Homo-oligomer: A and B are copies of this chain.
Amino acid sequence: MPKETFFNLPEEKRERILMAVVKEISRVPIDKISINKIIHDAEISRGSFYQYFIDKDDVIKYVTYDYIKNIRERVVESFRASEGDVFKAVEIILRGTMEYIIKSGNINFSKNILIQVKTDVEKTIALAVNSTDCILKIFKENMDISKLKEKNNEAIDDLLQMIFSIFKETVTRIFYDINNAELEYERFVRQIEIIKWGAIKEIK
C-alpha cells in the first residue's frame, strides 16, 4: 500500500503519477518497469516517489489491486443481472470482459497486469484469491442450485472453481491473440455445455 503522503497529495498530482505508472506498465512487462521512466513522466523527483511508495513492488501491487477490484465489481454486477443461472452468467461475464478489454484500448496494460497476477503466486495471490473468494461467495449466495445434481457446499465449490479455471484460460488465450477472441468465446460456451450435461453418454 502507498504511504499516507500519497493519499494526501492533491488529486491532480496523484492522477498524474498514476497515469505515468499505467503508461509504464503498458510499455513493458512488469519485470522491466523503470522507476526512472515513471518519475520523469510524472515530473516528480526520485525522492518524492519513495515518499509515496515503499518500493517498486508497492506501486505495481497497488495498481494491480485497483484493476482487479474494478473487474470484480463488474463481474459481481453482471452476475446480479443474470437471475442466478451461473452458466448463463459466466458467458455474459466473459463477453463483458472481452468488451471491457477491447474498449479500454490499452490491451498491453491489461495483459501485463494479468501476467502480474498470474506470476505473483506468493505476494499478490492473497488479493487475487480474496477477489476470487469474494466472487465465489456472491455466486454461491445468489445462484440457482435447483437443477444441480449435487447441491452440497463442496460440490458447488468444485463446480465454480472449475468454471473459473476455464474462464481464466480463455481470457489468457484472448490476450495471446485478440483476433481469436470470438472463436475463444464460442469454445468457452461449448465447454460450459460439456460441464452442464457431461461428456459421456449415459448407459441406457
Contact = CB atoms under 8 A, between A and B. Distances in A.
A195 interface: yes
Contacts of A175: 121
Contacts of A176: 121, 125
A139 to B, nearest CB: 14
Task: Give the number of copies in the complex.
Answer: 2
A108 B168 CA distance: 24
A119 B115 contact: yes
B159 A194 contact: yes
A202 B29 CA distance: 47
- Which of A31, A164, A199, A202 has the most CB atoms of chain B within a 10 A radius of its CB? A199
A204 interface: no
Interface stretch (A4-12, A15-23, A147-155): A147-155
Interface in A143-166: 147-150, 154-155, 158-159, 161-162, 164-166
Contacts of A159: 191, 194, 199
A193 to B, nearest CB: 9
A200 B149 contact: yes
Given A119-B118, A121-B175, A121-B176, A198 B149 contact: yes
Contact of A200 (B147, B158, B165): B147
Q: Which 9 interchain pairs have the tightest Cβ spacing?
A: A198-B198, A31-B31, A165-B169, A197-B198, A165-B165, A119-B119, A162-B191, A196-B200, A118-B118
Given A162-B166, A195-B198, 16 more contacts: A31-B31, A115-B118, A121-B176, A147-B200, A148-B199, A148-B200, A148-B201, A149-B199, A158-B187, A158-B190, A159-B191, A161-B187, A162-B194, A164-B169, A165-B168, A195-B199
